[in-house]
Amino acid sequence: MNWSYIQYLLDTLRKVVTRPWPEWLAGLAFGLVNILFFVVAFKPFTIYTGIYVWGSTLKDLIAGSGLDNAYNVFTNFTSVSDLGLVAGAFIAALLAGEYRIRSASTGDYLHALTGGFIMALGVALAWGCNWGGFLSAITALSLHGYAMLPGLIVGGFLGSRYLEWRAERMLRAIELPPLEEAVAPRPPRKGIVSVGGVISSLIITLAFTGGIAAYALGGGRLLAVYALGLTVGFIIQRSRFCFATAFRDLLGGPEMARSIRLQVGIAIAMAVGATGVALLKYMGFVDPEAYVKYVGISNFLGGILFGFGMVIAGSCASGMLWRIGEGHLKALAALLGAVLTYPFAKDYLRPVVLEFLGGYKVPLTVLGGYGGALALVYLTAIAWATFVLYLAYRRGVKIYG
Bridge partners of residue 363, in order along the sequence? 142
Judge whether 16 lies within some domain.
no
Round to whole Å and give the CA distance between 66 and 61: 7
Judge whether 332 lies within some domain.
yes
What does 96-107 look like in DSSP terms, one character per residue? TT----B---HH
Judge whether 242 lies within some domain.
yes
Q: What is the pLDDT of residue 358?
A: 85
Judge whether 15 lies within some domain.
no
Q: What is the pLDDT of residue 73?
A: 85
Q: What is the pLDDT of residue 201?
A: 56
What is the phi/psi pair of residue 52, to 5°? -65, -45
* Nearest by Cα to 366 from 146, 126, 133: 146
Judge whether 321 lies within some domain.
yes
Residue pLDDT tens, the chain, 401 long: 566 767 767 777 777 777 889 999 999 999 999 999 999 999 999 999 999 999 998 888 887 766 666 668 888 999 999 999 999 999 899 888 888 888 888 999 999 999 999 999 999 999 999 999 999 999 999 999 999 999 999 999 999 999 888 888 777 665 544 444 334 444 444 433 445 555 555 555 555 555 555 555 556 788 899 999 999 999 999 999 989 999 999 988 888 999 999 999 999 999 999 999 999 999 999 999 999 999 999 999 999 999 999 999 999 999 999 999 999 999 999 999 999 999 999 999 999 998 888 889 999 999 889 999 999 999 999 999 999 999 999 988 888 76
Bridge partners of residue 361, in order along the sequence? 294
Are the C-beta atoms of 276 and 38 separated by less than 8 Å? yes
Judge whether 187 lies within some domain.
no
Would you say how long the chain is, in residues?
Answer: 401
Bridge partners of residue 102, in order along the sequence? 328
User: Residue 361 in 3-state DSSP?
Assistant: strand
User: Residue 43 in 3-state DSSP?
Assistant: coil
| Count: domains in the chain | 1
Q: What is the pLDDT of residue 185?
A: 43
Q: What is the pLDDT of residue 252?
A: 83
Range of the domain at 282: 21-171+197-395
Judge whether 186 lies within some domain.
no
Q: DSSP secondary-structure letter at 89?
A: H
Round to whole Å and give the CA distance between 23 and 20: 9
Q: Which residues contact 301 (CB under 8 A, 6 or more apart)?
A: 125, 126, 151
Judge whether 111 lies within some domain.
yes
What does 244-295 look like in DSSP terms, one character per residue? HHHHHSTTSSTTHHHHHHHHHHHHHHHHHHHHHHHHHHHTTSS-TTTT--EE
Strands of 19-157 (E only): list them.
none
Prediction pTM value? 0.86
In this structure, the dihedral spanned by the alpha carbons of residues 367, 372, 376 and 377, taken in order and rounded to 10 degrees, is 120
